[in-house]
Structure 1
Amino acid sequence: MSETESDGEGANGDTGAADDGSADGDGTSASGGDVANGGDGVAPVGVKLGSTRTVVVYPSPDGEGTEVVRTLTCLATYEDVLTGEERVLYGEEAAIEYPDTVEFMLRSGLPEDDDSAEAAATFFRELLAANDIPENSAVVYAIPTIDNEAGLANLEAVIEGSSIGGELVRSYPESLCGSLPAFESQLDAIDDIFVAINMGSTNLEVCAYRRGEQLVPLSTGSITGNEIDRRVANYVEEETQGRVNIDLTTAREYKEDHADFESFEPFTDVIQQPGGGSHEFTIEDSVMDACDEYVDEVVDEVANGFLPELANSHMKVYQLALEKPIVLTGGMACLPGIVEEVETRLSDELKRDVTAIRADRPDLAAAEGAYEMAGYLASNL
């Protein structure tokens, strides 16, 4: 139902576009997998309950390194043919076996109403039950920068109502959690000044951090990974002169499997024809055209929206932040070469040198950073 990765050696896997079934390489905690339990054996747990995927990081049962659970944030129910009882599937298994009825309950980034909150609670309960995640734990979970008090309260209820976090439950911004693994200093980065760009599925979030304080947070739902999926689907239809129509799941897979700013190569796929037979087609431009537009829009929003506001509100922080690397977090930051593209285009737009960095695994970074923070909090209980 989900993928569990062990990190006994503390080595990061290769960065690449994430896929539905498995991550490329081993997930790791930001400190190399050796965050000690707190007092009375309290275990740190980091959680990112995301719109597309959920990641949980916790200590390995053998005390060597960490375990990483990474799965699609979705749920499906079916009736047991023997007992008549309702059964639940979650994650990849639910998406593959019940594609017509599977529910992604956090499409907007948060559980918006009672029904989605209940579904999210069921999903999280099933995930925890299927994995050896300690109940005697200090939990830190990442939250999006969205002005939605009801949704944030629902997410809090999902986490606090679960079996974990018996000693402590606390939330921090996703972009802060996701930034920490990108810095060599790890938790020391909380005491620094930097800008973070969270390139998520449902929102683009940009903010500055000053000793952990979030300054001038900007969030927009118009520049997102989900929007790029829609563009890929539309561009594939245009590129094939209307002969090929793909759904958003396939478009996301094309993006995650093939988008590459360093060395993109055209790829082929095959569809079944309605009247029988199959049609093979080649995609040359659709995926990278959509991703190119995404980077241009991100750079425009940062350069002409966020940074002027930061300069107007906190000029000294603005000056100091641009002397430091800008941190890219979120699923879109997984695309090969996107760091260099953002660097180049933002430098051109600002007419000054800008550097950017990301964690080795941006798709795991928010939960890894949350795990580091949970370890610190647990050690001080």
Structure 2
Amino acid sequence: MSDDESTDINESDESAAVGVKLGSTRTVLDIPDGRGGRERHSVLTCLATYEDAITGEEKVLFGEEAAVEYPDRVRFMLRSGLPEDDDSVADAERFFEAVVDAHDVPEDSAVVYAVPTIDNEAGVENLKSVIEGSSIGEVETRSYPESLCGAIPAYGDGLDAIDEVFVSVNLGSTTMEACAYRRGEQLSPFSTGSVTGNEVDRRIVAAVEEETQGRVHIDRTTAREYKEQHGDVYDFEPFTDVVQQPGGGSHEFTVDRGVQEPIDRYIDEAVDVVANEFLPELANDHMKPYQLALGRPLAATGGMACIPGLVEEFEKRLSEELDRDVEVVSPEEPAVAAADGAARIASRLV
């Protein structure tokens, strides 16, 4: 997805509505484009500081520029999904302020931001302080669950999901979340840090090393790029890359199983968690909503849902595991869906 993508979901009188997803890997803003439509900006959630060569003033670089130009000292302050300590909170505040300033987000706005379902009250409060303490959101600032915000675009162009009973699964970088919603009310919220996009990245690192018989060692950032650029459940094609060798020279290598096998394992684990942990808990706590939700499409969102074929294969394996037909739908762009849904809620508030 490009950094600037326009949609036309808002009317002109809703121009102050802003949707935010401050994520562990990417941060997405859904803001007015000044022409009655919407635009989205997606940037890496990282920053680097440097000294101005002329004035000596400390300056902040964020996003892709920071990751490329200062790989030795770039800071990803939300690796665990939330700001955990004072340093990460300070970094997140500087990062977020730099992002909203760079994209001219209006201060007199109503801001809705997506919050992950993580059992970390202190971290959630830190995230709240970062966004609600920023220069935007003077009209109003509210938070809603990320799995709800992300599911809204999966069910149409408006806010129909708010009035439905459904199950949402967020296939994210730092957590996998699942939750049933009954007219916007959370039922049996579930999250796990054992089935994540970050874990896929770590497995790609190990798999590439094994596939090249120890000759190639890549970092997690490169592994994530391999996953995002080449991952494809049904139509994967082996690709080559080149690394510099110690002492000079280069080594060209081919990646085949190194990407496919970690993704395949991820799908199996995601199906197992949903079928054998989350859904039994939901059925035990809320039998009628459970029956209603499984009779309707399940929403799959988050960065891992962007991999071609993953949602379709998840649907197939989940149906097999449950021994019943399950339909899984996904937003057109799962990685930015949470900001999109949050912006729609903000529009309603305005």
TM range (shorter): over 0.9
Task: For residue 200 of structure 2, give the secondary structure of its aligned residue in structure 1.
Answer: helix
Return the alpha-carbon distance in structure 2 between the equivalents of residues 67 and 256 of structure 1.
22
Structure 1 stretches lacking a partner, 5+ long: 8-27
Aligned-residue offset at 1:93: 0.6
Partner residue, 1:45: 18
Partner residue, 2:197: 225
Structure 2 stretches lacking a partner, 5+ long: none
2:31 to 34, 58, 65: 58
Report matched runs for 1:32-181 at 5 Å.
32-38=8-14, 43-63=16-36, 65-181=37-153
Residue 335 of structure 2 is aligned to residue 360 of structure 1: no
Return the alpha-carbon distance in structure 1 between the equivalents of residues 84 and 11 of structure 2.
34
Report matched runs for 1:1-381 at 5 Å.
4-7=3-6, 28=7, 32-38=8-14, 43-63=16-36, 65-184=37-156, 186-378=158-350
Alpha-carbon RMSD: 1.3
The count of residues paired between Structure 1 and Structure 2 equals: 350
Return the alpha-carbon distance in structure 2 between the equivalents of residues 92 and 294 of structure 1.
27
Return the alpha-carbon distance in structure 2 between the equivalents of residues 223 and 339 of structure 1.
15
Return the alpha-carbon distance in structure 2 between the equivalents of residues 153 and 294 of structure 1.
30
Task: For residue 37 of structure 1, give the secondary structure of its aligned residue in structure 2.
Answer: helix
Q: Which amino acid aligns with 2:13?
A: N
Q: Which amino acid aligns with 1:151?
A: G
Task: For residue 320 of structure 2, give the secondary structure of its aligned residue in structure 1.
Answer: helix
Is the contact between residue 259 and residue 335 of structure 1 (CA under 8 Å) also seen in structure 2?
yes
Q: Which amino acid aligns with 2:22?
A: L
Q: Deviations over 1:288-317 (max 9, x none)?
A: 100000000000000000011111111111
Please give the TM-score of this superposition, normalised by the length of structure 2: 0.98
Is the contact between residue 267 and residue 283 of structure 1 (CA under 8 Å) also seen in structure 2?
yes
Is the contact between residue 36 and residue 375 of structure 1 (CA under 8 Å) also seen in structure 2?
no
Aligned-residue offset at 1:37: 3.0
Identify the structure with bigger relative contact order (alpha carbons < 8 Å, sequence gap 6+): 1
Q: Which amino acid aligns with 1:58?
A: I
Return the alpha-carbon distance in structure 1 between the equivalents of residues 22 and 209 of structure 2.
33
Return the alpha-carbon distance in structure 1 between the equivalents of residues 314 and 13 of structure 2.
38
Return the alpha-carbon distance in structure 1 between the equivalents of residues 53 and 239 of structure 2.
42
Q: Which amino acid aligns with 1:315?
A: M
Task: For residue 274 of structure 1, give the secondary structure of its aligned residue in structure 2.
Answer: coil
Aligned-residue offset at 1:69: 1.2
Please give the TM-score of this superposition, normalised by the length of structure 1: 0.90
Return the alpha-carbon distance in structure 2 between the equivalents of residues 173 and 256 of structure 1.
25
Is the contact between residue 43 and residue 59 of structure 1 (CA under 8 Å) also seen in structure 2?
yes
Q: Which runs of 4+ in 1 moved over 2 A?
A: 32-38
Q: Which amino acid aligns with 1:263?
A: D
Aligned-residue offset at 1:33: 3.0
Q: Deviations over 1:41-83 (max 9, x none)?
A: x6000000000100001111233x1121110010100111211
Return the alpha-carbon distance in structure 2 between the equivalents of residues 43 and 37 of structure 1.
8
Aligned-residue offset at 1:3: 6.2
Q: Which amino acid aligns with 2:303?
A: G
Aligned-residue offset at 1:34: 2.4
Return the alpha-carbon distance in structure 2 between the equivalents of residues 163 and 170 of structure 1.
15
